[in-house]
Amino acid sequence: MSTDRIYIDGTRVTVSKPGYSASSPPAVDYAYLSLDSRLNQGRPLEVGLFTGAVFGGTKMFYSTTYPHPPAIDVFGWSGSGGVYSVGKSIVTNDASGSTVYQRTSWVPILYTDGFLITDDVQFRHARIWGTTLNLYYIAWQVW
Protein backbone atom coordinates (compact mmCIF):
# COMPACT_ATOMS: atom_id res chain seq x y z
CA MET A 1 0.00 0.00 0.00
CA SER A 2 1.36 3.39 -0.98
CA THR A 3 0.51 6.54 0.93
CA ASP A 4 1.40 10.16 0.33
CA ARG A 5 4.13 10.65 2.94
CA ILE A 6 4.90 14.33 2.15
CA TYR A 7 2.34 17.11 1.88
CA ILE A 8 3.28 20.73 1.16
CA ASP A 9 0.98 23.66 0.51
CA GLY A 10 0.76 27.32 1.46
CA THR A 11 -0.47 26.59 4.98
CA ARG A 12 1.59 23.62 6.17
CA VAL A 13 4.41 21.15 5.63
CA THR A 14 3.72 17.58 6.75
CA VAL A 15 5.73 14.36 6.68
CA SER A 16 3.83 11.34 7.94
CA LYS A 17 5.12 8.22 9.63
CA PRO A 18 5.02 4.99 7.55
CA GLY A 19 1.49 3.82 6.85
CA TYR A 20 -0.19 7.20 7.36
CA SER A 21 -1.23 9.86 4.88
CA ALA A 22 0.45 13.27 5.16
CA SER A 23 -2.45 15.01 3.42
CA SER A 24 -5.12 13.54 5.72
CA PRO A 25 -3.60 11.96 8.85
CA PRO A 26 -5.93 10.54 11.54
CA ALA A 27 -4.96 13.49 13.77
CA VAL A 28 -2.34 16.22 14.04
CA ASP A 29 -0.31 14.19 16.49
CA TYR A 30 3.26 12.93 16.90
CA ALA A 31 1.83 9.38 16.82
CA TYR A 32 1.08 9.75 13.10
CA LEU A 33 3.42 12.49 11.89
CA SER A 34 7.19 12.77 11.76
CA LEU A 35 6.91 16.51 11.42
CA ASP A 36 4.17 18.99 10.80
CA SER A 37 4.32 22.77 10.84
CA ARG A 38 1.07 22.74 12.83
CA LEU A 39 2.74 20.89 15.70
CA ASN A 40 4.48 22.90 18.40
CA GLN A 41 7.89 22.96 16.73
CA GLY A 42 7.81 26.29 14.94
CA ARG A 43 7.43 27.04 11.27
CA PRO A 44 10.14 26.03 8.82
CA LEU A 45 12.26 28.74 7.24
CA GLU A 46 11.92 27.08 3.84
CA VAL A 47 11.28 23.81 2.08
CA GLY A 48 13.15 22.88 -1.05
CA LEU A 49 13.51 20.12 -3.62
CA PHE A 50 16.73 19.10 -5.30
CA THR A 51 16.49 16.76 -8.24
CA GLY A 52 19.62 14.85 -9.09
CA ALA A 53 21.51 15.79 -5.92
CA VAL A 54 24.82 13.94 -5.64
CA PHE A 55 25.77 12.78 -2.16
CA GLY A 56 29.35 13.62 -1.41
CA GLY A 57 30.37 16.85 -3.00
CA THR A 58 27.47 18.91 -4.31
CA LYS A 59 26.63 21.98 -2.22
CA MET A 60 22.92 22.68 -2.18
CA PHE A 61 21.90 26.31 -1.78
CA TYR A 62 19.00 27.79 0.18
CA SER A 63 16.71 30.37 -1.39
CA THR A 64 18.39 33.08 0.72
CA THR A 65 21.35 33.59 3.04
CA TYR A 66 20.54 33.34 6.77
CA PRO A 67 22.35 35.10 9.63
CA HIS A 68 23.29 31.69 11.09
CA PRO A 69 23.21 28.16 9.65
CA PRO A 70 19.73 26.64 10.03
CA ALA A 71 19.08 23.03 11.04
CA ILE A 72 17.88 20.79 8.21
CA ASP A 73 15.82 17.65 7.76
CA VAL A 74 16.60 15.69 4.59
CA PHE A 75 14.19 13.26 2.94
CA GLY A 76 14.68 11.19 -0.19
CA TRP A 77 11.98 11.30 -2.85
CA SER A 78 11.36 8.67 -5.51
CA GLY A 79 9.60 10.97 -7.97
CA SER A 80 6.42 8.90 -7.89
CA GLY A 81 5.21 10.27 -4.56
CA GLY A 82 7.14 7.80 -2.41
CA VAL A 83 9.45 8.90 0.38
CA TYR A 84 12.44 6.86 1.44
CA SER A 85 15.16 7.04 4.02
CA VAL A 86 18.51 8.41 2.91
CA GLY A 87 20.38 6.19 5.35
CA LYS A 88 19.52 4.12 8.39
CA SER A 89 20.66 5.69 11.61
CA ILE A 90 23.02 3.97 13.99
CA VAL A 91 21.87 4.07 17.61
CA THR A 92 24.67 4.36 20.18
CA ASN A 93 24.92 5.24 23.86
CA ASP A 94 27.53 7.29 25.66
CA ALA A 95 29.88 5.65 28.18
CA SER A 96 27.40 6.00 31.04
CA GLY A 97 24.57 4.55 28.94
CA SER A 98 22.32 7.48 29.79
CA THR A 99 22.54 9.50 26.56
CA VAL A 100 21.39 7.98 23.27
CA TYR A 101 22.77 9.19 19.95
CA GLN A 102 21.25 8.40 16.57
CA ARG A 103 23.86 8.76 13.84
CA THR A 104 23.84 8.26 10.12
CA SER A 105 26.83 7.39 7.96
CA TRP A 106 26.59 10.77 6.22
CA VAL A 107 27.07 14.22 7.66
CA PRO A 108 25.38 17.49 6.69
CA ILE A 109 27.77 20.44 6.80
CA LEU A 110 25.64 23.52 7.34
CA TYR A 111 26.40 26.99 6.02
CA THR A 112 24.41 30.23 6.05
CA ASP A 113 23.71 29.94 2.30
CA GLY A 114 23.33 26.17 1.89
CA PHE A 115 24.50 22.74 2.98
CA LEU A 116 26.83 20.01 1.85
CA ILE A 117 26.23 16.30 2.37
CA THR A 118 29.44 14.40 2.93
CA ASP A 119 30.52 10.95 4.01
CA ASP A 120 31.46 10.10 7.60
CA VAL A 121 34.32 7.84 6.52
CA GLN A 122 36.02 8.00 9.90
CA PHE A 123 33.42 5.64 11.36
CA ARG A 124 31.39 4.07 8.56
CA HIS A 125 31.35 4.54 4.80
CA ALA A 126 27.92 5.58 3.51
CA ARG A 127 26.30 3.27 0.96
CA ILE A 128 24.73 6.28 -0.71
CA TRP A 129 28.10 7.98 -1.32
CA GLY A 130 28.31 9.13 -4.93
CA THR A 131 24.70 8.22 -5.74
CA THR A 132 22.28 10.68 -7.33
CA LEU A 133 19.04 11.25 -5.43
CA ASN A 134 16.01 13.51 -5.43
CA LEU A 135 15.88 15.25 -2.05
CA TYR A 136 13.46 17.36 -0.07
CA TYR A 137 15.03 19.48 2.61
CA ILE A 138 13.36 21.47 5.33
CA ALA A 139 15.35 24.30 6.99
CA TRP A 140 14.52 25.20 10.61
CA GLN A 141 15.50 28.27 12.61
CA VAL A 142 17.66 27.33 15.59
CA TRP A 143 18.93 30.74 16.72
Q: What's the pLDDT tens digit per position in 106-117?
A: 677 899 999 887
82-117 CB burial, b ≥16 within 10 A, e <16: ebeebbeeeeeeeeeeeeeeeebbbbbebeeebbeb
Q: What's the pLDDT tens digit per position in 47-93?
A: 888 777 666 667 889 999 999 999 888 777 665 555 555 554 555 56
Model pLDDT, residue 48: 86
Q: What is the model's pTM?
A: 0.58
Model pLDDT, residue 1: 46
Average pLDDT over residues 84-105: 59
